[in-house]
């Protein structure tokens, strides 16, 4: 509503102040005023015939395009005209990604480097630019005709790789370069050429592409197959081999020799026979192991039952040396006892 002023106010200069919008107000979703401004601008864009079909009459799509434009510092109309909807997801045109990168002011314009014979599989291209803050040369990944064939881009129906290979090399090299060195510009979104090479797309309306259900199933199956092929094969348990008759007899002879050397062969043979495991001539591999284990237990038990030699004590009680304080005979070293002059006929020496 326009403010009213009287003639007296006009003559005196006392004109009511007109409210001005805040200077910092901008399109966005983080403040109420910014959101209201976004809605108003989006309604204007949605009513324009210059907008692509996906944005005409669609305030929500226009609001999202405005937000994306504000985040990367681009013109909203330029964003809307270069944003494609592929299977419900946005994709940039390669030209827009290159233009936005060149206009951001942080880098020099994108340039291209080639190598290999033209139109051959080894013909490759990579994008590069110079970072203005550091002066460093930034290089992207190589993209070759051979790579396009391995990834299946070259063979697709209507593929531009066959009709304009140099242009596709530049577009793919540039989009990879932008997403690598300035991902905030691409916002993690692929170029429409990349998506088109990944899926068999059908353009329903200008700027809108659809994917058939069969194509989705085929791509899912391909991804599953690639995942399975990349996984290492499970380790197979070693196969058990059956020993020959000669090998089995040699094993029985070895076990018998070890049991005989330990002096427990007869006891082990009897114990094995009592358990229904036959004689040494019929033992299998498992029974040979059981016999060895049983033999070790028997040999250990026999060693514990044998009496141990007790070494002679180093000290003896001398009957000729008396401790008056302790009121008992002294305990002396055997070597000292051997040098005692009273040793001949000493009863203690004779018993020790």
Q: Model confidence over 227-274: pLDDT tens digits?
A: 556 666 666 666 667 788 888 889 889 988 888 888 888 888 888 887
Stretch 132-138: mean pLDDT, rounded? 94
Q: Band the pLDDT of 311: cuts 50, 70, 90.
A: very low
Residue 316 pLDDT greater than 90, yes or no: no
Residue 28 pLDDT greater than 80, yes or no: no
Highest mean predicted confidence (pLDDT) among 79-88, 170-179, 240-249, 326-335: 170-179
Q: CA–CA separation, 321 vs 303, rounded Å?
A: 42
Annotated domain spans of the chain: 23-81, 90-221, 264-300, 315-351
Q: Which residue in the block uniquely carries the two structure tokens 């599953």? A: 224
Stretch 64-73: mean pLDDT, rounded? 86
Q: Is the CB of residue 89 less than 8 Å from the CB of residue 192?
A: no
Q: What's the first-to-final CA gap in the chain, in angstroms?
A: 133
Q: Band the pLDDT of 218: cuts 50, 70, 90.
A: low
- Token output for 102: 């060149």
pLDDT of residue 313: 55
Q: Is the CB of residue 337 less than 8 Å from the CB of residue 316?
A: yes
pLDDT of residue 289: 86
Q: Band the pLDDT of 1: cuts 50, 70, 90.
A: very low
Stretch 149-160: mean pLDDT, rounded? 86
Q: Band the pLDDT of 110: cuts 50, 70, 90.
A: very high
Can you give the length of the chain in residues? 352
Q: Provide DSSP, 301-345.
A: HHHHHSPPPPPPPSEEEEEEEEETTTTEEEEEEHHHHHT-TT-TT
Comparing 198 with 314, the larger pLDDT belongs to 198
Q: Is the CB of residue 94 less than 8 Å from the CB of residue 76?
A: no
Mean pLDDT of the chain: 79
Q: CA–CA separation, 196 vs 190, rounded Å?
A: 10
> Which residues are within 8 A (CB) of 192 and not within 5 positions of it... i.e. 6 or more apart?
84, 86, 91, 92, 93, 94, 209
């Amino acid at each position: 509503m326009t403010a009213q002023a009287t003639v007296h106010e006009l003559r005196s200069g006392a004109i009511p102040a007109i409210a001005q919008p805040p200077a910092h107000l901008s399109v966005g979703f983080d403040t109420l005023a910014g959101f209201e401004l976004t809605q108003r601008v989006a309604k204007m864009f949605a009513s324009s015939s210059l907008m692509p079909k996906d944005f005409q009459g669609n305030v929500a799509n226009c609001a999202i395009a405005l937000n994306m434009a504000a985040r990367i510092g681009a013109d909203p109309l330029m964003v809307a005209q270069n944003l494609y909807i592929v299977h419900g997801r946005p994709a940039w045109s390669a030209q827009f990604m290159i233009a936005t990168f060149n206009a951001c002011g942080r880098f020099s314009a994108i340039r291209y480097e080639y190598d290999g014979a033209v139109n051959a599989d080894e013909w490759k291209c990579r994008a590069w630019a110079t970072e203005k803050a550091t002066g460093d040369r930034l290089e992207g990944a190589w993209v070759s005709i051979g790579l396009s064939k391995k990834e299946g881009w070259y063979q697709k129906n209507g593929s531009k790789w066959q009709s304009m290979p140099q242009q596709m090399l530049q577009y793919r090299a540039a989009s990879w370069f932008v997403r690598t060195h300035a991902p905030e510009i691409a916002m993690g979104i692929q170029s429409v050429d990349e998506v088109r090479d990944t899926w068999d797309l059908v353009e329903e309306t200008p700027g809108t592409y659809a994917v058939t259900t069969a194509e989705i199933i085929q791509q899912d199956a391909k991804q599953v197959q690639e995942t399975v092929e990349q996984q290492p094969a499970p380790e197979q348990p070693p196969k058990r081999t059956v020993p020959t008759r000669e090998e089995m007899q040699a094993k029985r002879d070895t076990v018998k020799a070890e049991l005989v050397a330990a002096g427990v062969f007869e006891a082990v043979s009897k114990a094995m026979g009592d358990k229904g495991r036959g004689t040494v001539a019929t033992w299998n591999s498992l029974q040979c192991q059981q016999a060895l284990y049983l033999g070790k237990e028997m040999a250990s038990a026999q060693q514990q039952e044998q009496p141990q030699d007790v070494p002679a004590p180093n000290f003896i009680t001398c009957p000729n040396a008396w401790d008056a304080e302790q009121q008992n005979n002294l305990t002396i070293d055997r070597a000292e006892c051997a040098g005692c002059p009273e040793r001949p006929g000493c009863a203690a020496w004779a018993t020790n």
